[in-house]
Structures are given as structure tokens and as C-alpha cells.
Amino acid sequence: MHLRNFTSEPPPLGSKPIMSQRWSEVTFLHWRVSPESVAPYMPEGCTPDVIDGSAWVGLIAFQMSRSAFFGGPRIPWLGDFPEVNVRLYSVDSLGRRGVVFLSLEASHLIPILLARTAFGLKYQWASMKIRQEKNKISYTTRRHTNPQACSLISIRPIENSEAPVQNHDSQIALALTAQWAFHQRHLGRTLYCRNIHEPWPLQPAELLQLDDSLLATAGFKDLTERTPDSVLYAKSVTTNFAAPSIVPYTHP
């Protein structure tokens, strides 16, 4: 099946950034699913993005740090914590692609409350850790309000030249990671919030262990019964966010 070309270079942000963050030690796990299975989770005005004939569900783990607002100084105590999110991929009524977050686990309560209030993002307060041992990286999380919602992810980045991301797979990797916006339903409106960062330094990774219930909690209980269709790792990028805009919607 033909896969349309994607680029690692983002379009211009279009306005001054309101916030910046660093995302590091990023692991991307993705599963193919049918577009029909994710359609009920799309915000109003959005439909599932189909990539290489499939919709996709992502389980993404990373360390957030160096958060700053409106070009001001970094605020380590506010924006330095691990995160694990479950996400889908969307296209809005103007043809703009983005992600839809089903859940976002984070260990600092204040930024969780701020993100939920400002953007309606479904952040959850959790106990979290990231451990690095030689070339192995492990992420653990357990939600405070629901200890059954937890995850253990362990991966090994593949750094040798004998295991490159092949051409077709690299286009899928770009489609799943070079996402320059999110869509979120908030206060009766669908928000579109742009971001921009340098190209991901992607490399393939080996999944060593996955013991996860976040996907099931989000509505995809059978995914962890099969191996992810894509396992990727990136060392770090620095991200800038623009103020959100409203997605126009015309009832069919």
C-alpha cells in the first residue's frame, strides 16, 4: 500500500511560543488498529488519521524537563518529571494532523492541574520513575487514584548500523512521531495546539518488557497481548508550543 511522504521538518509555528519543554529518553510503542476502533475517541471536528492503511495507538514514555513560559527562565520544580501517555492520531476539518491524548501520567500535581484547567488534557497524578542501566531504559508508573492503572516498559535502543530504520518503516516512523499539534476537546470546543521541534533523532529499539494496563484503562484492553508494530527511541528534542486555536466544525 502506498504511504504518503512525511517530513521531519515542521511547518512554521505561526506565532510566538507560549511555552517550551525538553523531552528526553523518549520511547515510542505503537500498534496498528482499525480506524473504526478509534473513531469514538476523536474530538468533535476530527477523524482518525490513517497511516499506511491503519489507525495507530501509541504508548509513549519520556522525561520532561527545562519547562519555561513566554520566553522566561526555566522552572525546574514545575516542569521536570517523567510522563507516559496513551495517544491516537487525528485529522481535523481543515486537514491538519495531530494527536489525541487518551491519558497522560505525570508525577507532579501542580502542572497536572494547570494542564487540565488550561487545555482539558487528561493528565493523571502518578508515582513514576525512569531508570537507566547501561543501554537499557525502564519506565514505571502507577496512578495514585487508580493503582490498577500502571505500566512497566523496558527497552534497549539499537545503535549499531546493522539495524537501521528501513525506508518504508522510516516513513511510518515519521508519521507516528513528527506530529506538530494536538487536538483536545475542552469547554465545549475542540482545541488545536501547535508545537515545533528539531527532527527526532530516531533509532529502532528492542522491547525487553511490557507489563501495562494503561492501554486497557484507556479502552484498548487487547493490545498488550500482541507485540507492538513499531518500537522506537529518541534521545531528546526541545519543543516550543503556540497558543491554541479553535477547530471549526460544520455538522454533517
User: In the chain, which residues have pLDDT < 70?
Assistant: 1-5, 77, 160-168, 249-252
32-85: per-residue pLDDT in tens?
A: 999 999 999 999 999 999 999 999 999 999 999 988 888 887 777 677 899 999
Q: Is the entire prediction scored with pTM above 0.75?
A: yes
- In this prediction, what percent of the chain has a pLDDT beyond 70? 92
- CA 149 – CA 64 distance, rounded (Å): 21
The angle formed by the CA atoms of residues 121, 78 and 202, to the nearest 5 degrees, is 65
- CA 132 – CA 235 distance, rounded (Å): 12
Residue type, position 28, single letter: F
DSSP, collapsed to helix, strand or coil, labels residue 213 as: coil
Helices marked H in 72-166: 76-79, 109-119
Q: Which domains does the chain have, with CATH numbers?
A: 19-246 (2.40.400.10)
- What is the structure's pLDDT at 2? 44
Strands 97-106 vs 123-133: parallel, antiparallel or unpaired: parallel
Which cell numbers hold the place of 24? 528526553
- CA 58 – CA 231 distance, rounded (Å): 10
The angle formed by the CA atoms of residues 152, 174 and 249, to the nearest 5 degrees, is 95
- What is the structure's pLDDT at 79? 74
For residue 221, with 0-12 CB atoms within 10 Å meaning exposed, 13-18 middle and 19 or more buried, which class applies?
exposed
- What is the structure's pLDDT at 1? 41
- CA 170 – CA 167 distance, rounded (Å): 5
The CA dihedral of 147, 149, 150, 155, to the nearest 10 degrees, is 180
Residue type, position 74, single letter: R
Neighbours of 247 (CB within 10 A): 22
Q: Which residues contact 48 (CB under 8 A, 6 or more apart)?
A: 35, 38, 39, 42, 55, 88, 89, 90, 91
